[in-house]
Amino acid sequence: MVWRYVKAQLMVLLCGGLVGPIFLAVYFATGQSELMKWMFWTGLLVTAVDVLVALGIAGYGAQAQVRTEQLEAHGVLALAQITGMAETNTRINERPVVKLNLRISGPGINTFDAEDRVIADVTRLAMLTSRRLAVLVDPATGQFQIDWERSALITGQMPATFTIDADNKTYDLSGQVEPLMEILRIMKDNGIGMNRMIDLRNNPAVRAQVQDAVRRAAAHQAPPAAQPAAAYPAPPVGVYPPPVPEPSTAQRLQELETLRATGAISDDEYTAKRQQIIAEL
């Protein structure tokens, strides 16, 4: 808690809270002149507000950490389908805040609809446009929290490869939502957190469950046997191949980010086009 407060106090000072201590320092450095008395009281007031704000931020952070730990320990890992997304015309550190309409379902809970407001920074855009997120839900109260690390895994933003020594193979399940959610639930139920590299050799029971889920997923994604060339007749005259599909929303947003980064479009053009893309979702 002390270190959390120190970090919050430093943040407050860097965001303008240095005015109070500076006024106090000037007042005492000038010999506590009566003419500078206003600087003493102003500096004292601003410094007191700084301390209170830092305490509030630290307290909120501590409560959020406790809530996250409780959901991790006792909550249900569920899947949230994004049914709607809208701008809120609010920005935090130049990052837009969007409102999400979610439909949440998972084992042991009744499907329910909810809303949440999140910062749609560049690292989250692809996850949001995939329309599916991993969430931790308190089955007793219905309170939930988006798990961005697990969401990155199930939406394919993080690779999901599994090496099984007995099979002498490495399976790639990147972006496969259902099998990855099953595997994540197995690990969560056994107290195994999210790490980029997870070694289950010291936990045979969990390893066996995960391997079974991986093999079933790999069997379902196995491509069908190739058919003889003669089984595919040539298309009749006048039949043309289908048109190239339109780029996805994630691709359009990424292209837009690239255009702005290279200076091809102005900030105003970027904002207008981005709002248009999100409105079309």
Write the Ramachandran bin of 238: left for phi over 0, alpha for psi from -120 to 50, otherwise beta.
Answer: left
Distance of alpha carbon 104 from alpha carbon 96, whole angstroms: 24
Same domain, 7 and 62: yes
Q: What does the pLDDT read at residue 12?
A: 59
From 52, 72, 92, the end of a domain falls on: 72
Same domain, yes or no: 91 and 41? no
**Is residue 95 a part of any domain in this protein?**
yes
122 and 165 together in one domain: no
Asked whether 128 and 98 are in contact (CB, 8 A), the reply is yes
Asked if residue 98 lies in contact with residue 120, where contact means CB atoms within 8 angstroms, the answer is yes
pTM, entire model? 0.61
Whether residue 246 lies inside any domain: the answer is: no
Looking at the structure, tell me whether residues 25 and 46 fall in a common domain.
Answer: yes
- Does 237 map to a domain? no
pLDDT, residue 3, reads: 66
At how many degrees (to 10) do helices 37-74 and 19-29 cross?
Answer: 150
Average pLDDT along the chain, 281 residues, taken 10 residues at a time: 63 67 80 79 83 74 73 88 89 86 92 91 85 91 90 88 87 89 89 71 85 88 56 53 62 71 70 78 68
pLDDT at 195: 64
Domain that holds residue 176: 159-220
Structural domain includes residue 107: yes
Per the CB < 8 A criterion, the answer to whether 248 and 128 are in contact is no
Domain end (from 87, 117, 145): 145
Query: Which of 200, 220, 240 finishes a domain?
Result: 220
Would you state the pLDDT for residue 82?
92
User: Is residue 232, in this structure, part of any structural domain at all?
Assistant: no
Within-domain flag for 230 = no
Same domain, 256 and 271: yes
Res 2: pLDDT: 66
> What is the tally of structural domains in the chain?
4
Output the 3-class SS for the chain. CHHHHHHHHHHHHHHHHCHHHHHHHHHHHCCCCHHHHHHHHHHHHHHHHHHHHHHHHHHHHHHHHHHHHHHHHHCEEEEEEEEEEEEEEEEECCEEEEEEEEEEEECCEEEEEEEEEEECCHHHHHHHHCCEEEEEECCCCCCEEECHHHHHHHCCCCCCEEEECCCCEEEECCCCHHHHHHHHHHHHHCCCCCCCCCCCCCCHHHHHHHHHHHHHHHHHHCCCCCCCHHHCCCCCCCCCCCCCCCCCHHHHHHHHHHHHHCCCCCHHHHHHHHHHHHHCC
Same domain for 63 and 84, yes or no, is no
Helices 249-261, 267-279: crossing angle, 10 deg rounding: 180
Hey, what are 183's tokens? 């595997």
| Residue 164 domain flag | yes
Q: Is residue 130 part of a domain?
A: yes
- Claim to verify: residue 54 and residue 85 sit in the same structural domain: no
